[in-house]
Amino acid sequence: TTTTTTTTSTTTRTSTTTTTQITAAPSCPVAPLGASVIMSFDGANVGDSNIANEGSLSLTAQLNGGATLVAGGVRGTGFAVSLPQITSVVVLGASGVSIDPVVGWTASAWVRNLQPNNMYRTLFRGFQNNGHHPVLSAAGSDIIGTFQNGAQTFFPGGYSLAALTSGSWHQITAVGQGTSTRFFINGSYVGVAAFASNTDIYAVGNFQTGAQLFSSFVDDVRMWPRALTDAEIVLSFSAATCTQGGAVSTVAAPTTTTGTTPSPSTAPTTTTTSTTTTT
């Protein structure tokens, strides 16, 4: 008798699958939508004096009085506007952009190297003689505020521009709604003035005829036909600093003001100061 033994060998194979997860780099926040004016100046060329609006309105900005494009804007690349002369100014279109405090308005610009306070310093100004100064500081003062023409009255906003570091870019934002204008520096609320301009914004960085130069450089001018929320203003600041490609050292953090800073939830506590200076 013959016995045959059959041995069956079983081989177990283990398959290992390696999954590689690709994580995209964090994206920069997007600035609030619906801007009627966007003047980044980055799509222009050296020597250009007419700059097309990137916002919703069809208009062209003009660089007047020796204003020129220079390399190295707030984003670290692209262009900014140099305002080297007492007459240098950026004007918006033929007669400016209407603003209405009933529905609200927001105007923002980045500035570097403020002028001395021995004269009025105007960041935004209306077109005609009755056009108000939505953002300025009065002669002999560092306090930001707004000026009502006709009544010839300066309404202080409670924040001292002396706190802004020279050589750094700073974003100044004004929100006009109802009977007050709220001010923000680098995305942070700093004060309120008891008046809101109801005409238009035509000149940026100076009075259109000169002699009220605000700063040596201006960049990334934006306007919205509505009152941005506090969160949107933070978003606007973050969007600009994020797209700098890491050159955040050119933007100073919000600093402590030396003036009276009313709470956003309370009524303005500032007092008005009259002047007979014609602007």
Name the helix (H) or strand (E) containing 143. Answer: strand 143-148
Q: Is the pLDDT of residue 254 over 80?
A: no
pLDDT the model gives residue 83: 98
First-to-final CA distance of the chain: 126
What is the C-alpha to C-alpha distance for residues 102 and 134, in angstroms, rounded to an integer? 15
The 10s digit of each residue's pLDDT in 118-136 is: 999 999 999 987 789 999 9
Q: Is 6 helix (H, G, I), strand (E, B) or coil?
A: coil
The 10s digit of each residue's pLDDT in 187-200 is: 999 999 999 999 99
Mean pLDDT score across all residues of the chain:
83
Task: Tell which wins on pLDDT, 90 or 240.
Answer: 90
The 10s digit of each residue's pLDDT in 256-266 is: 333 333 333 33
Percentage of residues of the chain with pLDDT beyond 70: 77
pLDDT the model gives residue 242: 82
For residues 128-148, b (16+ Cβ closer than 10 Å) or e, as one string?
eeebbbbbbbbeebbbbbbbb
What is the C-alpha to C-alpha distance for residues 157 and 183, in angstroms, rounded to an integer? 7
pTM of the predicted model as reported, rounded to 2 decimal places:
0.81
- Using alpha carbons, select from 199, 212, 223 the residue that is nearest to residue 65: 212
pLDDT the model gives residue 243: 53
Q: Is the pLDDT of residue 21 over 50?
A: no
Q: Is the pLDDT of residue 137 over 90?
A: yes
Are the C-beta atoms of 172 and 124 separated by less than 8 Å?
A: no
pLDDT the model gives residue 75: 82
Are the C-beta atoms of 184 and 80 separated by less than 8 Å?
A: no
Q: Is 129 helix (H, G, I), strand (E, B) or coil?
A: coil
Are the C-beta atoms of 110 and 169 separated by less than 8 Å?
A: yes
